[in-house]
Structure 1
Amino acid sequence: MKLVITGGHHTAALPVIEEIKRNAPRTEVFWIGRKYAVAGDKNYSLEYRDITALNIPFFDLQAGKFYKTVDPLILLKLPVGLIQALYLLVKLKPAAILSFGSYLAVPVVVAGWFLGIPSFTHEQTLTAGYANRLIAIFAKKVLLSWPESARFFPKGKTFITGLPLRAEIFSVLSSVFEVNKALPTVYVTAGKTGSHKINLAVIHALKDLLAVCNIIHQCGANSVFNDYELAVQTYAELQENEVVRGKYCPRRFVLGNEIGEVYAKSTLVISRGGAHTVGELLALEKPCLLIPIPWVSHNEQNINASVLVKSGLGKILNESELTSETLLLNVKAFLENIGDYKVKNSNHSSIIAKNAAHSIYQQISQFLR
């Protein structure tokens, strides 16, 4: 049987792909997604790198993104994406479609509905974006990470699976990040595309930050801003200062087999409020400083981040307040009081269920025989 997987949250899809390989090894998996991280970028997306590394055929899709404001150029991409999706599905002839949300999945699921191909979509967040709300109309079933998000979807279609987490986060499989063991380590990440604003705040405060901690910095691969290159250059200029030497590890990406090492070495994680990062931080009970993206639909990242705040692990720093100075102050305060950030309220077992990937597989398994 053939299965098409699509969507913008590929990290959640990876454990499901592994589950499919274990339980239905004859299934042919195809991926429809985004080859480049952002428009105009020359660097391959992490999604493309991870999926092709698994020898899964990858098909690039040009789809219009949903915003609160109307952009005529984006609107033009909507029918283009639908036509592309129809062509690919007719060509591939999958038995089912598994969506992991986002605007990329909309034309694929709608095209599948026109062709009579059943679709399943997974929602990672407490709320639901425009894309998955639309997808739910055409999907056979909506699979949820959180019971609270059921209210956004048609009754009778929802099923709680939890959030699939990478097995790699629970094991140290590498030894590539050399840090000063006498100091705490801070892991800075803003997802696979990175955040220009967070990156600049770290880079501009780098000398002062490295006086109090090591930093593992996932900058993202973005040829529009070239933040990684700036980070490397800035650190090189500081090398004469013995205080900072050997304490900074800038990377475009932290690879899947490296993430367990990064989390194990990290005292504090600085991140956005993406659903998958929130799930991983909850599962690992990692103290975290969260800087949610302010413009995502339905205030999604703030709502995600609030879960970590309520659990006792996290604190929110609004992006509007983010500067190199406020970042430095928050890191210092966090590290001085790190013992205060531990789980006080742990009632989110559904999202960190380790069998979430298998639950999703069970929902689609009838189409993989």
Structure 2
Amino acid sequence: MKVVITGGHHSSALPVIEKLKEKVSDVKLFWVGHKYSAKGDKNTTLEYREIKALGIPFFDLKAGKVYKTYDFGRWVKIPLGFIQAFYYLLKIKPDVIMSFGGYLAAPVVSAGWFLKIPSLTHEQTVVAGYSNRFISKFVKKILISWKQSAKFFPSKKVKFVGIPLRRSIFQIKSDSFKGNSELPTIYVSEGKTGSHIINEVMKQSLSDLLGFCNVILQCGDNYIFNDHDVIEGLYKKIEDSVEGKMFLRKFVFEEEIGEALLRSSLVVSRCGAHTTAELLALKKPCLLIPISWVSHNEQFENASVLKKYGLGEIIEERNLNPEILVQKIKEMLKDLSKYKLNDESALDFLKEDPASLIADEIIQIQAK
């Protein structure tokens, strides 16, 4: 059985890959995705590193994305992405395509439809993305994480399965982030590609923050801005004069993610679909800085879910500055008991094993 996996949410795919290997001993997996996060970036994506570490063949797809503003270069890449996806599928000859949304899924699934390769997709967000809405015409099944998402798709194709979460977030397997035991610890998570905007604010806030807490900072690995090395240099200058300790990472990998989340009193984070689900599952107090430009204001909607259920506060990106960030973190740390999950029904997406359910759907579609 050959399965091509594609899409923009590789964190959801990893638990499904694990389940597929358990259920189908001879399964052969292939990944179509992004090797680099941006044009001109020489550093590979977290997606590429983690998929290659599993020994799965990785096919780099250079597809265009439809933006609200016209960009000729990006629009040209749309048909080119389809042609490249068509070539990859002819080369691999998969039995089924599993999509995890995102704009890369569109050329892969539509090319698969032309080649009569059955496909299914998983929607991680509360508000369905453009790509999954588009490919809903071509897929056999649409698997959703949140029951509210059903209204965006043809009802006959929809099945609620929840969102697959990494087992590693629920247990501490490392001993990497022991700071000053008399201070709380915050974990600043900027997503797979990092955020130069947040990094700029962190550079100016670092000295103040380390005066009252330890900081685990996942800053990304952008070759253009080189934020990691700049922040590392700043910390070395102030390390001996502050009470808190900083732990800097480009990425927080599987072996350390449980410790980062469970050791921290507060998570400061972007608000992608997977992050939203993990913070809910852990009932973690969080300060959310949603990306302002994503489709359908998706990250703000996700952040609003966490706020609604009593766990989070939101700083909109346009309002973000060092003073506001430091003040809000101080306020939340002083009153953490305020941030508790107020409705257990928010955890409906965890009641069954989503990764196993998705793996079963892949196997069933291939068997038809």
CA offset at residue 152 of structure 1?
0.7
Q: Distance between the aligned counterparts of 1:242 and 1:225, measured in 2?
A: 26
Q: SS where residue 36 of structure 1 aligns?
A: coil
The change in CA–CA distance for 1:175 and 1:354 in structure 2 (over 3 A counts) is farther
Q: SS where residue 120 of structure 2 aligns?
A: strand
Q: Who is 2:361 aligned against?
A: 363
Q: Who is 1:119 aligned against?
A: 119
Q: Who is 2:3 aligned against?
A: 3
Provide structure 1 residue ranges, at least 5 long, that are not aligned to the other structure.
none
TM-score (norm 1): 0.97
CA offset at residue 239 of structure 1?
2.4
Is 1:66–1:131's contact at 8 Å kept on the other side of the alignment? no
Q: Who is 2:341 aligned against?
A: 343
Could you say what the CA RMSD is over the residues aligned between the two structures, in angstroms?
Answer: 1.1
- Indicate the larger mover: 72-81 or 62-71: 62-71
The change in CA–CA distance for 1:353 and 1:11 in structure 2 (over 3 A counts) is farther
Is 1:126–1:148's contact at 8 Å kept on the other side of the alignment? yes
Q: Who is 1:279 aligned against?
A: 277
Aligned-partner residue type, residue 181 of structure 1:
S
Q: Who is 1:248 aligned against?
A: 246
The change in CA–CA distance for 1:230 and 1:289 in structure 2 (over 3 A counts) is same
Q: Who is 1:61 aligned against?
A: 61
CA offset at residue 368 of structure 1?
5.3
Is 2:124–2:274's contact at 8 Å kept on the other side of the alignment? yes
Q: Who is 1:304 aligned against?
A: 302
Q: Who is 2:260 aligned against?
A: 262
Q: Distance between the aligned counterparts of 1:206 and 1:349, measured in 2?
A: 34
Q: Who is 1:233 aligned against?
A: 233
Task: Give CA deviations for 1:89-113 in whole Å, capped at 9, x if unaligned.
Answer: 0010000000000011110001000
CA offset at residue 354 of structure 1?
5.1
Q: Who is 2:21 aligned against?
A: 21
Q: Who is 1:142 aligned against?
A: 142
CA offset at residue 131 of structure 1?
1.0
Aligned-partner residue type, residue 193 of structure 2:
T
Q: SS where residue 349 of structure 2 aligns?
A: coil
CA offset at residue 242 of structure 1?
4.5
- Does 2:74 correspond to 1:74? yes
Q: Who is 1:194 aligned against?
A: 194
The change in CA–CA distance for 1:350 and 1:38 in structure 2 (over 3 A counts) is farther
- Indicate the larger mover: 248-257 or 67-76: 67-76
Q: Distance between the aligned counterparts of 2:169 and 2:105, measured in 1?
A: 26
CA offset at residue 351 of structure 1?
2.5
Q: Distance between the aligned counterparts of 1:205 and 1:314, measured in 2?
A: 21
Is 1:32–1:59's contact at 8 Å kept on the other side of the alignment? yes
Task: Give CA deviations for 1:288-344 in whole Å, capped at 9, x if unaligned.
Answer: 000111111111111111111011100111111100111001000110111101111
CA offset at residue 243 of structure 1?
2.9
Task: Give CA deviations for 1:119-139 in whole Å, capped at 9, x if unaligned.
Answer: 110000100111111111111
Q: Distance between the aligned counterparts of 1:349 and 1:219, measured in 2?
A: 29
Is 1:2–1:368's contact at 8 Å kept on the other side of the alignment? no
Runs of 4+ in structure 1 deviating by more than 4 angstroms, as ranges, are: none
Provide structure 2 residue ranges, at least 5 long, that are not aligned to the other structure.
none
CA offset at residue 346 of structure 1?
2.6
Indicate the percent of aligned positions where both proteins have the same amino acid. Answer: 53
Task: Give CA deviations for 1:229-273 in whole Å, capped at 9, x if unaligned.
Answer: 1110110111231534xx101110000111011111110001111
Aligned-partner residue type, residue 359 of structure 2:
Y
Is 1:165–1:354's contact at 8 Å kept on the other side of the alignment? no
CA offset at residue 366 of structure 1?
2.4
Aligned-partner residue type, residue 286 of structure 1:
K
Task: Give CA deviations for 1:124-164 in whole Å, capped at 9, x if unaligned.
Answer: 01001111111111111110000100111112111001000
Q: SS where residue 344 of structure 2 aligns?
A: coil
Q: Distance between the aligned counterparts of 1:38 and 1:115, measured in 2?
A: 30
TM-score (norm 2): 0.98
Is 1:294–1:301's contact at 8 Å kept on the other side of the alignment? yes
Aligned-partner residue type, residue 190 of structure 2:
A
Aligned residues: 367
The change in CA–CA distance for 1:290 and 1:124 in structure 2 (over 3 A counts) is same
Q: Distance between the aligned counterparts of 1:263 and 1:151, measured in 2?
A: 33
